[in-house]
């Protein structure tokens, strides 16, 4: 049986000795299998990778996904610590499971990403992508912000709230879930608009087609005290009159799963369902 992947790059959670130790162990396993272990910090190496293996948690995979998705590199995740929605290979099973994946025994899931662009006074000031969500929210002051939401140039509503979460199906089980957003099957091509603590209780989550163009127009940023964040890992401050345009990114994340993986098993474990 031949290997499906020969050039392999391993990413470990930053500043985590345990993740570094596991990544080194995996690196040796990869070399022993006769594969090429690439340098994750070398752009040239990364462009030749057949697969990326992430060691850490969901946050690490979110970070890596923005690097490898434009290169169409699939990702497999080794979980350290809490059960994750994205990283699902357990450390005690990693050698056997990853060998199965490298030899072609896996299921591939395609996960949509979001692309966001911020405009100020008619000029683009920032662009970023996200696998989970783009969030417009208030800052450290306990003060509501006011914004208008448009979908495909149609006015949806004007709201006073702590903010709004624009989530992918992958992100529907992250921050959006804590704001009473819907759980979407991860392979759906849809986007959830989930208000955060809206002042009007009839302001409910909305699910739209992933091909839709969403615009958030800042009306009152709470004395320049609001932000837009991307997967909770980077943020840009917003001013009154700024626009945040969000849509589906051109590329998607290719997530490789063990054949035995079940999304519903993870939901039951994470959410305490019977």
**Which residue spans of the chain are classified as CATH 2.60.200.30?**
113-250
Could you tell me the pLDDT band of residue 37, with boundaries at 50, 70 and 90?
Answer: very high
Cβ count within 10 A of residue 268: 12
Give per-residue pLDDT as tens, 160-198. 999 999 999 999 999 999 999 999 999 999 999 999 999
Is the model's pLDDT at 1 over the cut of 70? no
pTM attached to this predicted model: 0.94
Give per-residue pLDDT as tens, 82-123. 778 999 898 999 999 999 999 999 999 999 999 999 999 999
Return all residues near 186 (Cβ < 8 A) that are at least 6 apart. Answer: 109, 111, 169, 170, 263
Strands 154-161, 145-151: pairing is antiparallel
> pLDDT exceeding 70 applies to what percent of the chain?
99
In this structure, whether the domain defined by 113-250 belongs to CATH 2.60.200.30 is answered with yes
Give per-residue pLDDT as tens, 49-73. 999 999 999 999 999 999 999 999 9
Average pLDDT, the chain: 94
Question: Tokens at residue 242, please?
Answer: 């700024």
**Which residue spans of the chain are classified as CATH 3.40.50.10330?**
7-106+258-271
What does the pLDDT read at residue 221?
Answer: 82
Return the active site residues.
Answer: 58
CATH architecture of 7-106+258-271: 3-Layer(aba) Sandwich (3.40)
């Amino acid at each position: 049986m031949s290997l499906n992947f020969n050039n392999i790059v391993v990413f470990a959670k930053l500043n985590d000795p345990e993740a570094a130790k596991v990544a080194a162990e995996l690196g040796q396993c990869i070399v022993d299998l006769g594969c090429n272990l690439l340098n994750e910090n070398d752009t040239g190496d990364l462009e030749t990778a057949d697969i990326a293996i992430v060691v850490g948690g969901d946050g690490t995979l979110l970070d890596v996904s923005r690097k490898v998705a434009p290169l169409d590199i699939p990702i497999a995740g080794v979980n350290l610590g809490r059960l994750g929605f994205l990283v699902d290979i357990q450390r005690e099973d990693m050698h056997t499971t990853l060998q199965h994946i490298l030899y072609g025994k896996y299921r591939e899931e395609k996960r949509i990403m979001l692309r966001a662009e911020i405009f100020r006074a008619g000029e683009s000031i920032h662009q970023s992508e996200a696998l989970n969500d783009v969030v417009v929210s208030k800052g450290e002051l306990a003060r509501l912000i006011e914004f208008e939401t448009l979908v495909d140039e149609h006015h949806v509503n004007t709201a006073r709230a702590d903010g709004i979460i624009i989530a992918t199906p992958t992100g529907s089980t992250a921050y959006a879930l804590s704001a009473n957003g819907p759980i979407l099957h991860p392979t759906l091509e849809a986007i959830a608009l989930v208000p955060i603590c809206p002042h009007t209780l009839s302001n409910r989550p909305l699910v739209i087609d992933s091909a839709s163009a969403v615009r958030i127009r800042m009306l009152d940023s709470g004395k320049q005290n609001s932000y837009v964040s991307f997967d909770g890992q980077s943020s840009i401050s917003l001013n009154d009159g700024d626009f945040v345009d969000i849509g589906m990114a051109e590329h998607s994340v290719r997530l490789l799963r063990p054949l035995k993986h079940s999304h519903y098993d993870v939901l039951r474990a994470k959410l305490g369902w019977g």
